[in-house]
A and B are shown apart, each in its own frame.
Chain A
């Protein structure tokens, strides 16, 4: 009864093209923003920040990047972790070699380096499609794994091969408490998500989706496949690179090449599949699912009074987690974002059936 768009008439195309054309959606988003900006910083515990909010925000940024490529442009990639590693190591090198750079500039530069590498590994997409391309992008993953563990220059010749970052400062403000990190990430993710949404509803986004849905027809309309695919790889890798830099600097603090191995690529892929391919909102839902579910599974046995050994708990966790993923893919292959929009459709009519 509350969620109705009756009487909300659009009198201009600009009003019709808003991200949230329905008043109730805008109110909901405003409330959510207020919650995230005011309530969470005061209410959340240190553990909440460290274990859930900070990684979830960074991973959702990475998921947006991967979704632009896989969900919008239809180019399957298994190299996301490798591209994130490029971003992280690029940021590290800019940070220690040119210390006077502002962290935001470092982030952008790291993103650009990742975009360059991503486009390089995207070149095979001009000739191969689907699963074959997925295998080709694996090369990005293994190449970066190898490069950053073998070439000492990238890690500044640290004997152990792991690098650690100094405290972040920005405009004379030291970002060291979890709350500050959270607020920084919130701001960045907000801006980047907005930009991603704008891209996918602009003409480049339509070029990506056209290439995904029917590449011959797209070409006949005048969309150059090379342009569409390489920009998708570039923008996607830029996002992944920024996410990688944040993952290293803000979440991990110190890391070794293994931190960006293929498991990370798979996690990101699961996030966008569960969240919903071709949806910006889906990235957040999918990330929340993947980050929070294991933590919940971990706590449930203890909270209902069943005491199991840690090994059993972790095995059970993997099994239930895998089962849930399969369940989701069968019940709703278009992900949580589709469930969300079906829910909204139903809500528009509630309490009537039609």
Chain B
């Protein structure tokens, strides 16, 4: 952990305001993320955490504010453009491709990097096949890393929940992202699955140097894993800093951890 070098800031969100009809999901939220760090977003239900991730990767367009990623400032962005820039994400309620095997699900993460034409794929001799095999090799490394070798040919719909979460993470990792957004990676897991997932997140951050933004409800996990924490409540930022700073912030304690009697 100590060898890890926190770098320059690679992501900055400024004054993001997002509302759906009359409901305000985010109101003027700003924060930044530095390279190689693990940044947590916490807050009560409905605080706007998932909406924030959706703004960062372009699924939602904010009414006001801008996102700067790797020096490129933008307000409107299509999700596939942000994917190309190197932002990957996992989903809170699994969004795996149910009819496909675990292997194929992770292989879709490589789609942006695969270039052979329709005709070359239809004939599949020479370059198209070599490309497929090259990416298969990369995906197999991810499968080894996540310890799901035995399930690679199983349709993901038949896998238990904990393993589906791993496939979801694998699919995001296959994109070789600069920035990885994790939306409640440990929700609904038992203790062992949680421990495994924590290990994976730390390893990804440590070995690949991937910057991670994570939403999580388990305070123990958040305080242990993250370098800095953003606290949202009713769409507003009420705290920002290291886990210790956030823990001692009176506004955070009142709003989120509960008022002490």
Contacts and interface: CB of A to CB of B under 8 A. Distances in A.
A278 B128 CA distance: 22
Nearest to B100: A209
B108 A198 contact: no
B154 interface: no
B148 to A, nearest CB: 16
Interface string B45-86: 000000000000101000000000000000000111001100
Contact of B84 (A17, A195, A198, A222): A222
Contact of A14 (B80, B123, B133): B133
A220 B59 contact: yes
B129 interface: yes
A278 B114 CA distance: 22
A338 B112 CA distance: 31
B78 to A, nearest CB: 8
Contacts of B57: 220
A332 interface: no
Given A13-B140, A14-B129, A17-B132, A214 B95 contact: yes
Interface string A200-230: 0011111101101110111111111000000
A189 interface: no
A212 B104 CA distance: 14
B111 A222 contact: yes
Contacts of B123: 195, 198
Contacts of B133: 13-14, 17
Q: Which of B80, B84, B100, B114 has the largest count of A CB atoms less than 10 A from its CB?
A: B80
A229 to B, nearest CB: 13
Interface residues of A, number: 30
Nearest to A225: B80
A206 B111 contact: yes
Nearest to B120: A202
Contacts of A202: 116, 121-122, 124, 128, 132
B107 interface: yes
Contacts of A207: 108, 111
A209 B99 contact: yes
B80 A223 contact: yes
A235 interface: yes
Contacts of A213: 96-100
A221 B83 contact: yes
A204 B120 CA distance: 11
B121 A204 contact: yes
A220 B129 contact: no
A221 B78 CA distance: 11
A199 B121 contact: yes
Interface residues of B, number: 39
Interface in B86-137: 88-89, 91, 95-100, 104, 107-112, 114, 116, 118, 121-124, 128-129, 132-133, 136-137
A34 to B, nearest CB: 24
Contacts of B88: 220-221
A237 interface: no
A235 B118 contact: yes
A144 interface: no
B124 A198 contact: yes
A222 B136 contact: no
B80 A222 contact: yes
A77 interface: no
A239 B83 CA distance: 32
Contacts of A214: 95-98
Contact of B109 (A14, A221, A224): A221
A109 to B, nearest CB: 15
A224 B124 contact: no
A126 B124 CA distance: 29
Contact of A203 (B95, B96, B99, B114): B114
Contact of A216 (B95, B98, B99, B111): B95
Q: Which of A206, A220, A278 has the largest count of B CB atoms less than 10 A from its CB?
A: A220
A231 interface: yes
A221 B114 CA distance: 13
A224 B80 contact: yes
B80 A219 contact: yes
Nearest to B87: A220
B175 interface: yes
Contact of A209 (B83, B84, B95, B97): B97
Nearest to B139: A13
Nearest to A206: B108
Q: Which of B91, B110, B111 has the largest count of A CB atoms less than 10 A from its CB?
A: B111
Contact of A231 (B118, B129, B137, B175): B118
Nearest to A202: B121
7 contacts: A196-B122, A199-B118, A203-B132, A213-B97, A216-B79, A220-B57, A231-B118
The 4 closest A-B pairs by CB, nearest first: A222-B83, A202-B121, A217-B95, A213-B97
